[in-house]
Amino acid sequence: MAPSIGTSTSRVDGRAKVTGLAKYAGEFAAPDLAYGAVVTSTITKGRIARIDASSALAIRGVLDVLTHTNRPKMAAGDDDYRDDVAPEGGSPFRPLYDDRVKFNGQPIALVLAEDWETAVFAATLVQVDYEEDGFATDLHARLEQAHTVDKPQKPRGDAAKAFAGAAVRHDAEYFIPAEYHNPMELFAATVVWNGGGKLTIYDKTQGVQNVQRYVCGVFGLKPDDVRVMSPFVGGAFGIGLRPQYEVVLATLGALKLKRSVRVVLSRAQMYGLSYRPATIERVSLGANAGGALDAVAYEAVAMTSQHEEFSRNDAGWAEQLYASPNARYAHKLVPLDVMTPCDMRAPGAATGVYALECAMDELAVALKLDPLQLRLRCYSDRDQESGLPYSSKQLKECYRQGAEAFGWDRRSPSPRSMRDGSELVGWGMASGVWEALQMPFSARIILTANGHAEISTAATDIGTGTYTIVAQVAADMLGLPLDSVTVKLGDSTLPTAQVEGGSWTAASVAHAIVNAADDVRKELLSIAQTMPGSPLSGLAPDDVVLADGALASKSDGGRAVAVADVMRHGKMERLEKERSSDFKEDDKHARNTHSAIFAEVKVDEELGVIRVTRVVSAVAAGRIINTKTAASQIMGGVVWGIGMALHEEALTDHAFGRVMNANIAEYHVPVNADVHDIKVIFVDEPDSVINPMGIKGVGEIGIVGVAAAIANAVYHATGQRVRDLPITLDKLAR
């Protein structure tokens, strides 16, 4: 039987998704189901003086209107329950908690009705009087209030002195606006009332056990009384790492009515959830005449909310890419009257590497050096902060293979020197870097005598292909064909799993499966060796392998026993094993994934319209479990990078504190016409240090560096350097 790991395998859940059999959080049926519609604030800061729900309650079919005055009891404060479900020690926003309004679009009431249309209509009839306070939502206007959070990396040497004495210097400020996740599936929760206070919650989330802990903590419920399920997720990209408010509202409704309740947010209400924070990045690079870096100084200033502090490391990514004896990094936050930002694909890296790689390109221009050559001259085989070597780093090979596939050697160095008819042609490149993380996950294997295996873990598949890679790893470890493996995910009653994020799920869950499969193999061997005349007699567990439905000697395939015969001999109908991914901590190596991105743009010389016509992304991310789904992840990241570079921007009217383009017509994202030729290359990167299978994960790395490569290509095409994203034709016209 050919191995499954490392092949291009179609999704095992693909048929269910394209035929509609896959159900999402807002689609599960429940008896006696009521519907909730959310009323949101029209002011940005202040308090609710009065809510008049009488007109809504007068509508036939309306069951109740919940506000902060009549909702079921919630924990009085963060100290009243165990809160380990939010980043940076914060706490997810709890709707209807009190009369305070903290951001525009905040949920302030929930209308419950017999059907969705009635609930939505009645919500428009709820009258609210406010006492409004002054507010601030503009990052640039509040920079004097920026305060420093923990430094991302320790300083080395004297960056200021080295920069001042550098032969060639570059110092510039880059800006990335707030960006919203906009997954295809709206955030929704269906809370099924099972009687006796027991709840089954279908929620759109990246971590079912995370949501279960939160709901139990906020409402004082017993874990055995709350089951959270999320078998399929229509995209999340980080916004589902922490519980969002729809699950709290739906639970409030179910507890109040003592019946099942569904809440689905509108697309506009999704802009009242979290987002990638707007960030100002100041990068200073000093180099000698040959291009070696003498100094790196990086300061990031990002927005956060007044009620919670959120930050990610934008500033320190040069440490994983480039050698420099002097470096200084800082990350600052400006509290604003907004909803708290959150993680968004490759948090910190997507924004920080954008500024860093644009600055490197500008330094290359100042040095009159090819941008790729500059990066090679500054290349580092060690993490600059810790001094540790990498478990693996094939970034040079990414540069080589990516440049060759793109045809980089044919690049004319001067801006505006390449044309295609009436269009200016630009070629740009950038490096990408992300962390290679792994977390404790558990998995259970149930092997039956008829040669079928069921693999279960509470991990969530957010569309990345987790169902498929779990099936592939299990099939290879158990010696079964792929269609003999069933996978169960996204259920809080299953073995423990962390939230799905950070690109850690593949490595983490794969090793839990490997460990459980080892236990299966060991037990089967112990039984097989009790069989009369066993051909496996005297063999140790490491001497045998599961293959083609049999337990066989590694060195002599003729010494084998069918698994069905072993289980029949042991009078076993099923064999069950559960294990965790018990990684050993390694403090002797740095662990990262890397990439090299090459982009071609064509710019209409008269209109300034930019088209991204070609992208090559060469990625080094350890062992790739599924080349098909992994390539899809990288391609999706590239498309998102195109959006980041040219399209995405949340526009806030700071007079009202409100996002004005809260829809996917005016909040621009790439469409089919914006996406042309994308080539993904996976560079071979054996890594026996990071974990036994050499897996790193690819979910995040695909977007990192893409916006910079495109911005650099736009400069090469036009000679115009636009440092504030997105790059639009009006900015080129300046």
For the stretch 532-588, pLDDT in tens is 999 999 999 999 999 999 999 999 989 999 999 999 999 999 999 999 998 887 889
Token look-up 């869950």 returns: 509
d(CA 554, CA 561): 13
**If one looks up domain 439-580 in CATH, what number appears?**
3.30.365.10
- Residue 417: half-sphere exposure toward Cβ, Cα within 13 Å: 8
Q: How large is the C-alpha radius of gyration of the chain?
A: 27
Residue in 288, 330, 313, 361 with CA at minimum distance from that of residue 592: 313
* Residue 414: partners with Cβ closer than 8 Å, 6 or more residues away: none
d(CA 272, CA 41): 10
CB 689 within 8 A of CB 583: no
Longest Cα separation, the chain: 86
The dihedral sign for the CA sequence 618, 623, 627, 633: negative
d(CA 294, CA 285): 8
Q: Which residues of the chain are modeled with pLDDT < 50?
A: 82
Token look-up 């002797």 returns: 588
d(CA 712, CA 720): 10
d(CA 119, CA 261): 12
Residue in 570, 437, 458, 572 with CA at minimum distance from that of residue 508: 437
CB 143 within 8 A of CB 58: no
Q: Which tokens in the block code for residue 218? A: 């906020």
294-307 burial code (b ≥16 CB/10 A, e <16): bbbbbbbbbbbbeb
In this structure, are strands 677-682 and 610-620 parallel, antiparallel, or unpaired? Answer: parallel
CB 135 within 8 A of CB 337: yes
| Catalytic choice (362, 385, 435, 700) | 700
d(CA 614, CA 425): 11
The per-residue DSSP string of 665-678 comes to TTS----GGG--EE
Q: In this predicted structure, what is the pLDDT of residue 218?
A: 94
CATH 3.30.365.10, the chain: domain bounds = 279-437+587-732, 439-580
CATH 3.30.365.10 correct for 279-437+587-732: yes
3-state secondary structure of 552: strand
d(CA 679, CA 565): 48
689-702 burial code (b ≥16 CB/10 A, e <16): ebbebbbbbbbbbb
CB 206 within 8 A of CB 275: no
Q: Which helix (H) or strand (E) holds 48?
A: strand 46-52
Token look-up 């090459």 returns: 598
Task: Examine the residue annotation and report whether 700 is marked as an active-site residue of this protein.
Answer: yes
Q: What is the pTM of this model?
A: 0.97
Q: Which tokens in the block code for residue 233? A: 């997720």
The CATH topology of domain 24-134+185-236+240-272 is Aldehyde Oxidoreductase; domain 3 (3.90.1170)
Residue in 728, 702, 591, 726 with CA at minimum distance from that of residue 350: 702
Q: Which tokens in the block code for residue 30? A: 């429940």
Token look-up 């996917």 returns: 664
